[in-house]
Amino acid sequence: MPNDDERTASPQGDPEGNGDAVIVEPTEADERENLIQRRRFLQASVGVTVALTVTGLSALTVTGSLRPIAKITPQQEPPADGDVLVYADDQKRLVQASDLQTNTKQTLCYPKDPKSGVVKSGTDNNLIMLTRFDPTQLGPDTAPHAAQGVVGYSAVCTHLCCTVSDWDAKNGWMLCPCHHSQFDPRADGKVMGGPAPRPLPLIPLKMTGGQLAVAGGFMTSVGCS
Amino acid sequence: MGKWLDERLALSRMYKKFFRKMFPVHHSFFLGEITMFSFVILVLTGIFLSINFEPSIRMVQVGAKQLPAAYASVQFIDSLPFGLVIRSMHHWAASVFIAAAFLHMIRILLTGAYKKPREINWLIGLALLSFAVVAAFTGYSLPFDAFSATATKVGYEIASSIPIIGSWIAQLFFGGTFPTEHSIPRLTAIHMVWLPLVIGALIGAHVLIMFLQKHTQPKYAEKVAPNKILGVPFWPQQALIMGVLFAVMVAVLALVGGLFNANPIEHFGPPGPATPNVKPDWYFLWLYGFLKMIPSAWHFTVFGVFVGPEFIGVLIPTVLILFGFAFPLLQPSEHKLRYIELPSEHPVRTATVIGVLTFFIAATIGAYKEDLGLTTGLLWLLVIGGPLVVGAIAYGLLRAIYPASARESAGPGSDATPGD
């Protein structure tokens, strides 16, 4: 590049000022030198591009691997029709509808596949809480999914995914200990106070041969945000 | 011996250059040093904790119980001689770090020391405070008891509530959907290696820049020795004071750590299906209070992207930090600030700082919403009205006590001497 500049600039900078344009014909050697330089530049550009692409792609792969692959084990399968329920803190014991008192604090449990015997406690998203009411107290949307007055909800708060494990005895509401979201278990898990944006997902329950069981998956998506 | 070393290490030149640095004499200037010393104590106690900690949530057999390895290793730390005291000291030193850094920042704000030429150090300082809070949060997660798992889970969900990129970022830092077997090792690496390195490097840069730019001078220095640097030299006077301060801090933290044990993991037990009823540490209470105040209805979906009330938990601190970063840039100045500005001479700025403090206090009150029986409406009134009213009262009082005429006659000292 500096060579080119000199050649075009020299006529204007002619010290004699006679205005004669001095055009220097490039010699053969110059031409060859130029070609070699151009070739080198091209080679270098290709090299740099390839190197950057390889490095960039490798870096992307490494960054991508920082997010672990989510593996779904049988313990993490979502609850399904026919699953029975076991106590979360004593997973060998089946939950019976008759064990549950009406209008008392919710019971935390996990679904269990009766055929394979797998307790689906591998993820908090399978945590179900049960409360029991006099069936006449249940709202029209909730009553069809209850079994002997027992209603089931996802225990995962829709605000920031804490377990809704407290009980507001005064109102008969389920209470999240984290940011005090309140949910009415009689009315489809409706938000009664606090910051939770959505109602708790309901899970339909049924009685099969005198045993309390799940009648299908959660009716809305489980989890927060 | 001295001569031998001097010939090789040029100690006398270093002495002249560094050891004669003048430190202004004012108690509020110790806040930065307290922050730095609490970092030193955090590193020292952290070394002890790190070599005994097992970063894993795999279940191990302890007596008759199956416990997460991290939890069991913290039980082991607590069983060592002075183990629980050292763990408590680490916890309280983190509190001191954040408190002292915050008060140091308020001091800088009130005296105008963030102004030209010290904008860079203002930014580094804000970054330090932010990293310190992140470090404290990652430290929460490590014992993996019911409390720590809950707090970390909430942090994970707040991070993943950022629209579009949130879940990716959260999974990157928490090793997948918290808690997975990758979570504690990753948070351990962040807490024990990378954040201390970053914080250490930033403290180094902060101190070096302060050394190059020199401290702002107290007001009286202008009258006593105009255009000269007034203070006590680093060696031996200031070094002695620093040594005493450090020793006092170690002693007080050991006493407090011995009397008030931090995070009693066996009280909460290992994580279970239920959530314990807990509040976060004091420096998160304002954010925690805010999360409770946001009404359930504040959520919407734009182009299929859900923006919920929990996102506010990211938004408010981000806005505050960005505002803080922009602060010195909003007040461009031609002169280099040499003498501190008195808070009484800048009623608007002082009243604004008091207003922001009121905001933090009001939001912290929100953390006790149920305990105090406050309604959401009243809290919003406190959080929005409180800062405005208190700020206005502060402004009025400042104007009344220090009339404008008195401020002008106070001389040109508020705006620095040109040149420096």
B186: closest CA among B134, B136, B141?
A: B141
Q: Are B31 and B110 in contact (CB under 8 A)?
A: no
Provide the CA B262 distance to its chain's centre, in angstroms: 19
Residue B153 has pLDDT above 80, yes or no: yes
pLDDT tens digit string along A167-182? 999 999 999 999 999 9
- pLDDT for A15 equals 52
pLDDT tens digit string along B41-68? 999 999 999 999 999 999 999 999 999 9
- pLDDT for A22 equals 72
> A162 to chain B: which residues are within 8 Å by CB?
150, 153-154, 275
Residue A166 has pLDDT above 60, yes or no: yes
- Of the pLDDT bands very low, low, confident and very high (cuts 50, 70, 90), residue B86 is very high
Nearest CA in chain B to A125: B273
Q: CB under 8 Å to B374, separation ≥6 — which residues?
A: B365, B366, B368
- Of the pLDDT bands very low, low, confident and very high (cuts 50, 70, 90), residue A18 is low
B contact residues 181-200, partner A, Cβ 8 Å cutoff: 182
pLDDT tens digit string along B361-378? 999 999 999 899 899 899
Cα(B403)–Cα(B28) distance, rounded to whole angstroms?
A: 25
- Of the pLDDT bands very low, low, confident and very high (cuts 50, 70, 90), residue B34 is very high
Nearest CA in chain B to A199: B296
Residue B72 has pLDDT above 70, yes or no: yes
Provide the CA B139 distance to its chain's centre, in angstroms: 14
Q: pLDDT averaged over chain B?
A: 89
Mean pLDDT of B159-164: 88
Residue B419 has pLDDT above 50, yes or no: no
Q: Are B301 and A218 in contact (CB under 8 A)?
A: no
pLDDT tens digit string along A77-134? 999 999 999 999 899 999 999 889 888 899 999 999 999 999 999 999 999 999 999 9
Provide the CA A147 distance to its chain's centre, in angstroms: 32
* B153/A197 Cβ within 8 A: no
Provide the shortest C-alpha distance from residue B377 to chain A (in Å).
12
Q: Taking the CB of residue B169, how many other CB atoms lie within 10 A of it? A: 14
- Of the pLDDT bands very low, low, confident and very high (cuts 50, 70, 90), residue B139 is very high
Q: State whether residue B57 sits within 8 Å of chain A by CB.
A: no
Mutation to test the A interface, candidates B177, B293, B372, most A Cβ within 10 Å: B177
Residue B414 has pLDDT above 70, yes or no: no
Stretch among A62-76, A206-220, B247-261 having the lowest mean pLDDT: A62-76
Q: State whether residue A181 sits within 8 Å of chain B by CB.
A: yes
How many interface pairs between A and B have CB atoms less than 8 angstroms apart? 96
Cα(A125)–Cα(A130) distance, rounded to whole angstroms?
A: 15
Place of tokens 């929460």: B140
DSSP state of B402: S
- pLDDT for A11 equals 47
DSSP state of B27: G
- pLDDT for B182 equals 93
Residue A55 has pLDDT above 80, yes or no: yes
CA B113, B119, B120: angle at the middle one, nearest 5?
125
Cα(B384)–Cα(B387) distance, rounded to whole angstroms?
A: 6
Of A177, A195, A225, the CB nearest to B275: A177
A contact residues 154-173, partner B, Cβ 8 Å cutoff: 155, 159-166
Torsion angle of the four alpha carbons A129, A130, A136, A140, in this order, in degrees rounded to the nearest 10: 40
- pLDDT for B105 equals 95
A187: closest CA among A169, A166, A205, A172?
A: A172
* A68/B171 Cβ within 8 A: yes
pLDDT tens digit string along B262-282? 889 999 999 988 999 889 999
Q: What is the DSSP string of chain A?
A: -HHHHHHHHTTTT-TT--------PPPHHHHHHHHHHHHHHHHHHHHHHHHHHHHHHHHHHHHHHTSPPPP--GGGSPP-TT-EEEETTEEEEEP-GGGSPBTS--EEEEEE-TTT--B--SSGGG-EEEEE--GGGS-TTTGGG-BTTEEEEE-B-TTT--B--EEETTTTEEE-TTT--EEETTTTTEEEESS--SPPPEE-EEEETTEEEE-SS-SS--S--
B82: closest CA among B263, B285, B258?
A: B258
Nearest CA in chain B to A64: B172
B60 three-state secondary structure: strand
pLDDT tens digit string along A128-151? 999 999 999 999 999 999 999 999
- Of the pLDDT bands very low, low, confident and very high (cuts 50, 70, 90), residue A17 is low
Q: Are A186 and B267 in contact (CB under 8 A)?
A: no
Mean pLDDT of B293-318: 80
Residue A24 has pLDDT above 80, yes or no: no
Phi, then psi, of B316 in degrees rounded to 5: -65, -50
Mean pLDDT of B138-167: 92
Of B175, B182, B292, the CB nearest to A179: B292
Q: State whether residue B28 sits within 8 Å of chain A by CB.
A: no
Mean pLDDT of B397-416: 64
B265 three-state secondary structure: helix
Place of tokens 């001569």: B3
- pLDDT for B413 equals 42
CA B181, B183, B187: angle at the middle one, nearest 5?
145
> A126 to chain B: which residues are within 8 Å by CB?
none
* B274/A160 Cβ within 8 A: no
Nearest CA in chain B to A65: B172
> B274 to chain A: which residues are within 8 Å by CB?
88, 108, 163, 165
- pLDDT for B412 equals 44
* A88/B292 Cβ within 8 A: no
Nearest CA in chain A to B287: A179
What is the torsional sign of CA A99, A104, A107, A113?
positive
